[in-house]
C-alpha cells in the first residue's frame, strides 16, 4: 500500500478533500494517510514550535530541533518533501515518480518558513506547487497527494485516461464536449460527431497545439524543440 505521512501543526486538516471522490474511495485500499502533529515534539510546557528569525525581521520561523524530532519519528526511507514556495516546481513527471514509489513524508511549513539547518540535515526536498504564497503547506500537500493517489493502480476507472492528459505529453489538453449537442447557440464541433476516429484525433491534436501555443509558451518552446530533435510523443494518439 502507498503510504503518506504528513507532518503539520494542524493534523485535523487531513484527509480533508482526500477523503472524498477518487482518493477517498481508494483510501485504506490503495493508499493510507497519517497526519502527525509537529507540536507533539516541542520540549517546553507551552508547546513552542517557532521563534523569531535570526538577524531580525517580521514573522516567526519553525525551530530546527522541534521539526527534526518530528521527522526523525518517521523512521523509513520514503522521500521527504517540504512544501514551500521557494522549492522546485512540481511536475507531472515528478508526481509519476512519487506514485511509483512506496509513498511520501510531507512536511508542511508555516509562518515565515523553516530553519535551513533541518532542511539540510534531514535531506528535505523542497517542492513548490506554484508561484503563490499560501498560509501553510497543508493545501499544497493535499494537492500533491491528490495528484499522486489518482495514478495508483486501480484508483482511476480507466487507467489509460491518465496517459492523455495535460503535461503527460508535450502539450496541454484539448477542449472537451458532451451532451447536449447544442447549448446556448454553441454546437459541438462537427469533427467529433461523425464517428471518424482519425478525424477526432486530428481535431484533438490541433486543439492541443493551439491551446499550448496560446497559453503555455514555455511548453510550446519545449514541444518545438522536441520536434527538432525528432521526438513528437503527441503523434502517438494519431
pLDDT score of 21:
97
* 200-222 pLDDT, tens digit each: 999 999 999 999 999 999 999 98
pLDDT score of 236:
42
Looking up residue 118, the CATH number of its domain turns out to be 3.40.1280.10
Q: Are residues 123 and 167 in the same domain?
A: no
pLDDT score of 237:
40
Q: Are residues 133 and 207 in the same domain?
A: no
Q: Are residues 110 and 22 in the same domain?
A: yes
Q: Euclidean distance between the first and final Cα of the chain, in Å?
A: 36
- Contacts of 17-21 spanning 24+ positions with Cβ under 8 A: 17/142, 17/146, 18/142, 18/145, 18/146, 18/149
pLDDT score of 157:
75
Task: State the Cα–Cα distance between residues 97 and 31, nearest whole angstrom.
Answer: 16
Helix axes 217-228, 197-215, angle to 10 degrees: 120
Q: Are residues 134 and 219 in the same domain?
A: no
When pLDDT is cut at 50, 70 and 90, the band that residue 170 belongs to is confident
Instruction: Answer whether residue 166 shows pLDDT above 60.
Output: no
Q: Are residues 167 and 145 in the same domain?
A: no
When pLDDT is cut at 50, 70 and 90, the band that residue 228 belongs to is confident
**How many domains would you assign to the chain?**
2
pLDDT score of 135:
94
Percent of the chain with pLDDT over 90: 87
Looking up residue 227, the CATH number of its domain turns out to be 1.10.1270.20
Q: Are residues 142 and 89 in the same domain?
A: yes
Instruction: Answer whether residue 160 shows pLDDT above 50.
Output: no
* 98-147 pLDDT, tens digit each: 999 999 999 999 989 999 999 999 999 999 999 999 999 999 999 999 99
Query: What range does the domain containing 74 cover?
Result: 2-149
Q: Which of 122, 149, 176 is the last residue of a domain?
A: 149
Q: Are residues 172 and 99 in the same domain?
A: no
Instruction: Answer whether residue 225 shows pLDDT above 80.
Output: yes
What pTM, to 2 d.p., does this model score? Answer: 0.86
Cell numbers at 97, concatenated: 515518480
pLDDT score of 163:
54
Task: State the Cα–Cα distance between residues 61 and 113, nearest whole angstrom.
Answer: 5
Of the listed ranges 35-44, 134-143, 157-166, the one predicted with least confidence:
157-166
> Does residue 156 belong to any structural domain of this protein?
no
Amino acid at each position: 500500500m502507498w503510504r503518506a505521512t504528513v507532518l503539520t501543526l494542524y493534523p485535523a486538516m487531513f484527509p480533508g478533500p482526500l477523503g472524498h471522490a477518487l482518493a477517498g474511495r481508494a483510501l485504506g485500499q490503495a493508499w493510507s494517510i497519517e497526519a502527525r502533529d509537529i507540536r507533539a515534539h516541542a520540549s517546553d510546557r507551552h508547546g513552542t514550535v517557532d521563534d523569531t528569525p535570526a538577524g531580525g525581521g517580521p514573522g516567526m520561523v519553525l525551530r530546527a530541533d522541534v521539526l527534526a524530532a518530528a521527522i526523525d519519528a518517521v523512521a523509513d526511507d520514503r522521500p521527504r518533501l517540504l512544501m514551500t514556495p521557494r522549492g522546485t516546481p512540481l511536475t507531472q513527471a515528478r508526481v509519476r515518480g512519487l506514485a511509483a514509489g512506496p509513498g511520501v513524508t510531507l512536511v508542511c511549513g508555516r509562518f515565515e518558513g523553516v530553519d535551513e539547518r533541518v532542511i539540510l540535515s534531514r535531506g528535505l526536498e523542497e517542492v513548490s506547487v506554484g508561484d503563490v504564497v499560501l498560509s501553510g503547506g497543508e493545501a499544497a500537500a493535499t494537492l500533491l497527494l491528490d495528484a499522486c493517489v489518482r495514478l495508483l493502480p486501480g484508483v482511476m476507472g480507466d487507467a489509460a485516461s491518465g496517459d492523455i492528459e495535460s503535461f503527460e505529453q508535450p502539450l496541454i489538453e484539448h477542449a472537451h464536449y458532451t451532451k447536449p449537442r447544442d447549448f446556448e447557440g454553441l454546437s459541438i464541433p462537427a469533427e467529433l460527431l461523425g464517428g471518424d476516429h482519425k478525424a477526432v484525433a486530428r481535431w484533438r491534436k490541433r486543439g492541443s497545439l493551439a491551446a499550448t501555443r496560446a497559453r503555455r509558451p514555455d511548453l510550446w518552446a519545449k514541444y518545438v524543440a522536441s520536434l527538432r530533435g525528432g521526438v513528437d510523443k503527441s503523434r502517438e494518439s494519431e
